[in-house]
Every structure is written in C-alpha cells, then in structure tokens.
Structure 1
C-alpha cells in the first residue's frame, strides 16, 4: 500500500494478481471482472480509483477505505504473516475525528502546586489532542462488538495488530503514541480510566495537594453510575470496601480488575468523608455525566442536553411539519384512534389530516393526499420544505420524500427527539387551546397542574390495572377532531405583535412564499395517487373505474412501445370518489394526461350547451386523428424485377417515366398507370 495525495491506496495489480501455483485455486483478492464492476458501478460498494493506470510508469491506485469489507478479509488471509490488519487500518482511517472537547480541556488545564496557573504549551495541546482523537477511535472499536469480532476474526484482542494499525497512521495524523503493544495497551486502559488526564505528562503534573485525584474521582463516578443508582453514603461504603480489598471492581467491557494499590497515596489507602463524596458527585460536570448514565435518552435530551434556538420563517409554505398522534379519548374498542397532521410552520395551520385505527403507512399517505387536495383546491403551490420522522416515512425516502422529487428540501428529524419537530409543538397548542375547551378528559395523569390532569377512577379487580373511562364511537371522535381543526385554524395567530388581527388561516393564505413551484401532478400522483393497469382502446381512451379518459391528442399514441397498449394510470380521487383526470405511464415513462371528455345526448332536441360542447370536443379529436392519418399517408410503390427494369430503360422514352405534376389529382391518377407492371409490359411490347 502507499499514499497518493494523502489517501491510503492499494494497486490494481495487488488486488487482481494470482499468486497460486498451477492447478491450485486462484488466490487473487478479486477477479478482473469484479474489479471492473466495482470501479465502474454506483452505490455503497463502488471502489474509488484515485489514480487511473494511464501514462508512462503509472498504475491504477484504489482508495483503501472504499474497498468492501469482504475483500479486506481476503487481503488479511492472503498475507497472514505480515502483521498487517487492513480491517483495523480502514476502521481507524474512517473513524478518526478531531476531538474538540480534548482541545478545550487541554487549553483550560492548569498544573497544580508549584506550577499552579501554568498552562500546557500550545504545541503539547495540539499533540495531546491528536493522541486523544486516535484513542477515541480505538475505544469506539472496542464498543463495536460486531466490527471487533470481524477485525480479530473471532480471536481475542491482538494488541500487536492494534498497535501496528494505529502506528501506521503516525505520519498521516502526527500522533506520538508509543508503538510498543504493551505500552500502547497500557495507554489505552489508562485513557479509559482517567480520560484526558492520562495523556498529560506525569512528570509535570503534581496532584499531591489533592486528596481526590483524577483516578479516584473517576472511580467514584463509576460506582455512583451503577444500575442501582446508589446514594452518596453507599458510594462511600463501596469505595472503602474496595480500598480495603473486601470487594473487587472490574471493567465490564475488558474484564480487567482494578487494583486497590493503584488508588493509594504514598502507599496508603485514601479514605473520604461523606461531605467529600457529596462535593464531587455534585460538581456541575460530574452531575451531567451521572445524569447521562441514570436517565433515558429522551429524558436526558429534554432536561439536560442543550438544544437549538430557532425562529419561524417569514412566509407560509416555506416549511411544513408532519407528525402522528393518538387522539386523547378512547374509542369503543378501548384504543385511541390514530391521527396524522400536516402543519404549516409559519401560520401553525393544519393543512392536512388523516385518521386510522392503526398507526401505519396508510395513515401517512392519507394525510399527504388530504394535504394536496387542500393545496389544489386553493390553487397553491408545492411547499418548499417538509419535516418528517423516520418511523413511518423512511420507506418513502427514495421516492416521495427524496429531496428534489416533490419537495425541494426534506428534513429528517432525529428519533425520540420530539422537541425538534415543530408539529409536536402545534399538537400541544391545538390540544390545550381547543380540545381541552371542547371536550372532557383531556390531559395527562402525570402533569404538574391539576387542571391538566384528568380524573382517573381505578377498578380494584384481580388485574389491578384497569380504570373507568368513557368510551366514544370512532366516527364521533374523528368528526370532533375535524371540527377542532377548523376552530383551531380560524383562531387568532398567537403572534399578534407580528400579525395583528389575523387568524392562522389568514396568515397562511396572505403570507404565501412567492418563490414556490407549481404542482407537477403527473409526478406527484405517481407517488401519492391510486394506480391501476389499463389499456389504450381504439387509439382513443383508457378506462379507469368504469370511466373513459381520452388522450389529449391522437399523436400521443406514438409515445407507446411497439405493439404494446398496456399502461399504468395514476390518479387521486376527490373526497366524493370522483376522478377528474388520470396520468398514464408505460415502463415508468410518462405518456399523457387523460381527461374524462364526457358523453353527449344524441337526441338533438334534448341537447344542452354542455352536450354541444362535448360533441364539439369529441369531433375535434376525430379531426385531429384524421389529419394525422392523412399527413402520414404512405406512398404506394411497385417492385420491378431487375430484368424488367433493363427492358423498360431500353425501350420506354425517358419522359414517360418522369413523375407527374402532383398539383393535379388527375395526373396523379394517370401516373399510377406507370406504376402498374402489366401496363409497362404492354408498352414495352408495342415498342418492338
């Protein structure tokens, strides 16, 4: 392997060379055809050729990081005695990221005692930050059990290979970690136990003034983070028992036992008071670290982790946000109906909604269809950006929800992060501004304010987990929610300082983004519409749901495949089930937009203006068809054998064979005689 423009590469020859002896199976890493396929294809397994094998002395180089893992395993097996683990090298190359937290830690670190206030030299800050970044990649590998198993090929951790793989990138990253496997293992374990402090030169650090050094502090935090969430006095008891050798403490990942002597000071155990434990457990940073271990991700994210600070856009339809929810009241089957809403972020209006008894993709698609019916009914354009979740929508990522397909921008929200989705905020606003006012039993049992907690009456039966609740008819709950949506949309906009006297719906209609693009129904309906297979009949129409939809022009039949009249028709029924137009595709290619031309009354005395208009439109189609046939009229020809052609050329005057004047229809008929074989033969005989 070699570097080319700071990219680790392997040559085409090394990948495809067969070193096996005659009669033995090939031991090439990949075949030549495989190489060509992987370097010319697309997708996740495409290999990146950073230098083609063109020009004098050049040979093709492939980026190591782009080679699929199954071939990396073959490389390791082919060269087992060279101490080179390409899987580890590739892992560290892909997972090395500069550690900004380490850079900040080293820049604020100050030496203690006689060196108090003295900071780490800038060059050492850079060096130790790089070392921390490399060790982070190593720790990440230990945490990825599946990758670790593949890299070690099911064996125990091979520190020789680990140290060699990291040392290979010494020149590229500039780290100063020792290449000795034993010393490297020691540094990794120390870094896991002490963090960034393990990288600080111990010859310059003197923590003798601290009763609780970094190692002891990390041990206390590890004890406090046990699954039982021990109190501070229990943490002190467990720490004292460990120091005295009564209990053992080990690393659950590596299985390494901690040694009490490593936490002694001047060869003696360090005992701590409960107040000292309390102080260290309540240090601001330590509290954050403990909360991360003790809380679920959702609670930690909502209560401790920092969040983004945003403001709404200026125009409506610049961004819409979609989300599902359970309606707050239960249906007669004891289950809450599922709802899906589409909100305009600027106005807060519900612009699309759907309901179902199950939380599935049909619920999402019904909401999208309802939203576009609203958009089409009001003559609006396509929203610029849509914000969705992964749970129900990820299967549409390569179609409807692909950025640029229907919506110019698509934002995928992180899972379990409800505060990120604007729709979550609007759900709450709708619930407590309208639903709670109109219906009983709206709220949550765990909320702080009693006015938001519904009354729950427990049933003391053998299950001891049932409550008396009023149940409602499913259709009634849906009708109530639609009425709530209409009331919510027509309430005053909450930002009256910016939109004085305007309702949410007025803001939606009057503040529309002027740069939006119109709806491409032919494309949109392919993603959200109904689909049926049909055929073009009489070069005129296709039939969908018992209705004939006419081609826009007879010329459109020329877009069909040869001798293939089968097409797929996409359409979106109105809320009453009627279909206005269908969009036909063949082999995933758009053909035409077909509309229902209607039928007219053939009794002249009963015809209305609408009947006469339909008759005229149908007659226009027929005229267009007749003109197409006439314009494409095929010229008649006669096949003359070679010997007859020679006889005619020798006997018939040249002027006889001249084409007639096409301006005269009569002359055109006369000319047809000369294209008749028998007539030509008779003229030839007369000449003799």
Structure 2
C-alpha cells in the first residue's frame, strides 16, 4: 500500500494479481465502472499503474487486505485523515469576508491559516461522530486526545495547520470551535490597542494638527505634536473650548508617546487619512477628480438616445484679451456635434442659441427629438421649470453634479475635439500647465511693472468663430474612434444611420415657445399679421373665434432656418396656443406676367377669402323687431282682417335686380 497525496491506496496489481488476489479482475472492472470504488489514479501512461482508495473498498476486501498485508489499527486515524481531509470552502468565505469593528479585514496569510485550521478541526469532529471508527481507533475506550493530536501532527507539514500539539490545548481548541465556530480561531491579538504605539486617539490628533488652513507640512505636524507633549504647545477644541491634556497621550508607564517624523508621515499618508485631508485642503473639483469614486459606464447602442451639452472658452484670446464662449451639443453614441453656439458672454442666451442650432440641424436632416438631454445647472437652471423639465419637450433630463467633469460626456468630447482637430490646424492650442510638453503653448512673459503680462497672439471674434465652425465640421467627418464597432464610418455617419427607432417627432408649436424668437404682433383684417417684415396668414378664418374679446394682439414664436427664412410662425395669446401660420405668398397682379407660382398664390388667397365669406354668410345675424309696450298692446286690440298678399312667381327672372350694371344704367337714365 502507498499514499497518493493524502489518500491511503492499494495498487491494481496488489488487488488482482499474485497467488492469493484480493479480488478478481472482472470484479475490479465491475466495481470501478459502476463507481463503487474510487480509482484515484488510472494506469495509463508509461510505467503507470492504477491506485485504488482503500477506504472505498467493501468491508470484505478490506478484511482480506488486513489478512494479507497486516493489521492497520495503529494508523486508523492517520489514514482516515489522509483520505478524508478537505478544505472547507465556507470557512475560506467566512474569513475572507470577516471584518473587525473598524472595518479592517484579516491579512491574507491569516485567512489561509484559519481556513486550514478550521478544516482540520472539522475533520476531527467528523471522525468523532463515526462511532465504529472511533471504537476501532480507541480500542473501545474514551477519546485519547494525545493520539488525536498526534494523528493530526503527522500532517502538519502537509496540511500547513498551526493547531497546538498539546493534548489539553488541542482538546480546548476543538471544544471552542464546537461552541463558537469559525470566529473562535481568530487571534485576540488583532485590534488590541495596547499593542499599538500610535493609538486611534493619537492618529486623530495628528489629523487635527494637519487640518490647519495653511496646509502644514508633515514635518510641521510632527514638530507641533512633540512640542505639545513637552508642554510647549497648547491644543484645544475650538467647538467646546476644551484644553487637551498631554497626559492622555502616554504609554502604560506614563511616558509620553514620542513619534518620529517617518511615523507621523506614515499615518498622515494612509489612504483613508489622505482622503480625509484632501477633502479639507483641496477644491471640490480637485477632490472629485483625485479621490472621489466615479461610475463606470458603457456607451449605448443608438444615436440621439442621449445628448450631452457643455460650454467652454475657446483657448485663443480675442484682441481685448477675452475669450470666445462656446456651447456644444454632442450625441453620445456617435460623438458628433449636433448643435453649437458662440457668444462674447456666457449667458443663458448662449445655451438657447445652441438649442436653436441643434433643432435646425435635426429638422434639416429629418431627425426626431432626442430622448434625453444631459446638462449642468450653470446657464440652464433658469429653464428648469420649462424647457428643461422632463416631459415638457424632452422625455428625459439628466442634471449633472456641478464640478464633476467626468460625469458629462461632453467634457470628454471637448477634449477629443480640441486635441484631435483644433491642435492640428490652429496655433496656440493647449494649456500652459499640461503634462505633455507638446500641449503647452508658447508664452513669453513681459517683465513690466504689472509683472503679469504675456506675449500671446490674439484674433478677432469672427476669426475665432469661423475657425471653430470649421473644426466642428472636420471633427464630425472624422472616422468614429471605435472602428471595431463602426468600421469605415465617420461620426456623422453613425449619427445618421444608428438613430434610436423609438424616438418621436417633436411638436414645434411647443418647442419654439421655449427656444424660438418672440415678437408681439396684431392680426389685421381677420387674416394676416406681420413678423420680421413678412406677412403670415391664419390657416382658417374660423381661428379668429379663439381670440379674446376685443383683442387682436398675439405673441408670435418662430425660428429661422439656416438660411434665415421663417417658414412657420406659432401664435399664442397669454400662453394659450392659437394656430400655426404660414407666410402669405404674394402674386403678380399683371395677368400677362403671371407664372404657375403666381396662380397658385392667387388661388390660396382666394380660397381664404371664400372661406371667410362663407363663414360670414353661414353666421348671418337675423334682426328682431323692437316694440314699446303700448305699441304691443295696440296691436293686440286691432281686429285681424284678411288681406291679399302678392306671392311672386318662381319663374320670374330677378337677375336684373342682382346685376350692379342694371342699377347703374337705371340711375343714368333718370338723370
């Protein structure tokens, strides 16, 4: 017999060969094929031979092995542990997830140690529950903890456990495990404050000394702490006025706990403490980017599912030293710019101009309204109860946290546009503090009385805007950065071909009330009004019934297209929608010069007049007679008499009386 790892085995040859085999070959094949015995190693390979686990053989064959190879009582426990020891996965999970009161985890080496120890004790408990095996091992007597510990110690080097070898200590450790479970194996030395030189109180004091507004060096904190212990510095709590006592920061013998500069620096620079200190000493923007966790996201599938907007200052200055303010609307999936605006000032009008440009682009390309807009509160908060209220114009609105540049997709696309397009065609693109030297523009300081002047080339407003618009078109027509997903496609190709199929068209009457231009005008002759020196006509004469009494004044909302033409105007009266109106098409009054367009324009105006005439005719007012009371009584007293009433013949011709020329001729004849 031999061990295969921790398992006591017998070879196939010893089982089936020799003068007195333990079992026959057919019997072996049947037991192994049905899985009733455990063949831990097959006989395949050069010089290999099969090994069978002794513990899995039927009892009659184990008795034959004892008769042939001798009594194995002395190794019963040792052999059983070698065959049945298994690592407890639940123990490893417990020690991996275990946390002390302050949130600390166990060191990796102790996780493995405690897992092995727990697995060994569980094997001991399992063998103790097998009454038959224990009677054989203990020869019918009580548990011999010395023998039990000895059997385990035989595998100490193989299993790697650190359980005590003393019988009494081993018994006590097993009984504690039976009572308290996995936690009983964790050493009480962990989290013992008496073993720490730097207690939690001292660590807290070091952080408090570092929290001064002047942001002291680590060495300054070290000096102030030790001077405090020597009584040369007095520390107090500014909230309560309590004076700190140096005697509270001594060891068990009453000696001050003096720290070295390296120890102070080590505790101040613990990852958790660095985050605490950064929150005090850094700006919110720097803290968010350096320490605050951020979400990991993936880009969606369809364009126009989400539009991200952001503003920026163009990097090159104007003649007056100021910079052009720009606002962009990026489609997140394609990365394309779908709207942009420029201004000398960063006002809400800059945002509105960007929205107008975006919808002009969408309208020109037959695209539907985006499903979601991602914006920040700056510049846009004034529209939170109108345009930027979810469900009013856009189905979804996402408000980004202020100062969190990672959150807005537009921030990343601004950088891609700046260093992927602008830097390749414009001089002076970059930042003076950029890490990469190539991204630091050349600046020469002028040493004058102000001592803050630099030689930087400047441009006119129109030059900067024109350059930026060119860069936008070049950026949109660059290959999409994810060519694996969109092979051979530009950003604009992805925008146009990958639109979300669930998008809906927008209602311009609602939209233009928020982003369009407004002018107050008056409806004249129940038909038309003037906007930007152009006449617009009501769609139907019946629209005048929606107007308020004695009020022909309306608010007209409109948005010119990219060519400056106004194709539709939406009129409201005190925020109540009235109608959508088209431009009045004028026609050439010279019949001989009229084109088909003139004839069509004439027909449209004639139809409107005809509709108006019909409305007037259908609504003709019928007069009622008016009598005084005495006249009414006199009529009641008159005796009714029959009179002859002339009834005209239906065949009589009255057309002459309806002809204006007839009345004119009759009037001339009488002169």
The alpha carbon displacement at 1:553 in A equals 0.3
Query: Pick from 259, 264, 275: which aligns with 2:262?
Result: 275
- Return the alpha-carbon distance in structure 2 between the equivalents of residues 485 and 588 of structure 1: 37
Contact kept in structure 1, 2:303 and 2:333, CA below 8 Å:
yes
- Aligned counterpart, 1:255: 241
- Return the alpha-carbon distance in structure 1 between the equivalents of residues 303 and 637 of structure 2: 81
- Aligned counterpart, 1:239: 225
Matches within 5 A, 1:398-547: 398-547=385-534
- Aligned counterpart, 1:313: 300
SS in 2 for 1:329: strand
Please say if 1:352 is aligned against 2:339: yes
The alpha carbon displacement at 1:287 in A equals 2.2
- Return the alpha-carbon distance in structure 1 between the equivalents of residues 523 and 99 of structure 2: 70
- Return the alpha-carbon distance in structure 1 between the equivalents of residues 336 and 633 of structure 2: 83
- Aligned counterpart, 1:623: 610
Residues 99-156 of structure 1 deviation map (CA, whole Å, 9 limit, x = unaligned): xxxx987484699xxxxx99xxxxxxxxxxxxxxxxxxxxxxxxxxxxxxxxxxxxxx
- Aligned counterpart, 1:333: 320
SS in 2 for 1:600: coil
- Aligned counterpart, 2:657: none
- Aligned counterpart, 1:224: 210
Q: Residues 654 and 576 of structure 1: is their aligned pair in 2 closer, same or farther, counting only changes over 3 Å?
A: farther
Contact kept in structure 1, 2:206 and 2:225, CA below 8 Å:
yes
Query: Pick from 579, 598, 601: which aligns with 1:592?
Result: 579
- Aligned counterpart, 1:190: none
Matches within 5 A, 1:104-143: 106=101, 108=103
The alpha carbon displacement at 1:492 in A equals 0.5
Gaps of 5+ in 2: 1-97, 107-112, 115-189, 653-671
- Aligned counterpart, 1:41: none
Contact kept in structure 1, 2:331 and 2:495, CA below 8 Å:
yes
- Return the alpha-carbon distance in structure 2 between the equivalents of residues 537 and 274 of structure 1: 87
- Aligned counterpart, 1:394: 381
- Return the alpha-carbon distance in structure 1 between the equivalents of residues 435 and 593 of structure 2: 72
SS in 2 for 1:418: coil
- Aligned counterpart, 1:577: 564
Residues 151-206 of structure 1 deviation map (CA, whole Å, 9 limit, x = unaligned): xxxxxxxxxxxxxxxxxxxxxxxxxxxxxxxxxxxxxxxxxxxxxxxxxxxxx996
Please say if 1:549 is aligned against 2:536: yes
The alpha carbon displacement at 1:279 in A equals 2.9
Question: Bigger radius of gyration, 1 or 2?
Answer: 2
The alpha carbon displacement at 1:633 in A equals 2.1
> TM-score when scaled to structure 2?
0.66
The alpha carbon displacement at 1:599 in A equals 0.9
The alpha carbon displacement at 1:360 in A equals 1.4
- Return the alpha-carbon distance in structure 2 between the equivalents of residues 375 and 654 of structure 1: 79
- Return the alpha-carbon distance in structure 1 between the equivalents of residues 576 and 226 of structure 2: 75
- Return the alpha-carbon distance in structure 1 between the equivalents of residues 540 and 651 of structure 2: 30
Q: Residues 428 and 650 of structure 1: is their aligned pair in 2 closer, same or farther, counting only changes over 3 Å?
A: same
- Return the alpha-carbon distance in structure 1 between the equivalents of residues 605 and 578 of structure 2: 20
The alpha carbon displacement at 1:630 in A equals 1.8
Residues 224-283 of structure 1 deviation map (CA, whole Å, 9 limit, x = unaligned): 232333333332221111122211112234433322233334444222233332332232
Residues 606-639 of structure 1 deviation map (CA, whole Å, 9 limit, x = unaligned): 0010100011101111111111112222233324
Residues 378-416 of structure 1 deviation map (CA, whole Å, 9 limit, x = unaligned): 111111111111111111111111111111111111111
- Return the alpha-carbon distance in structure 1 between the equivalents of residues 618 and 399 of structure 2: 54
- Return the alpha-carbon distance in structure 2 between the equivalents of residues 628 and 379 of structure 1: 37
Contact kept in structure 1, 2:99 and 2:105, CA below 8 Å:
no
Deviates more, 1:241-250 or 1:587-596: 241-250
The size of the alignment, in residue pairs, is 469
SS in 1 for 2:194: coil
Q: Residues 261 and 506 of structure 1: is their aligned pair in 2 closer, same or farther, counting only changes over 3 Å?
A: same
RMSD of aligned alpha carbons? 3.0
Gaps of 5+ in 1: 1-102, 112-116, 119-203, 667-688
- Return the alpha-carbon distance in structure 1 between the equivalents of residues 197 and 344 of structure 2: 62
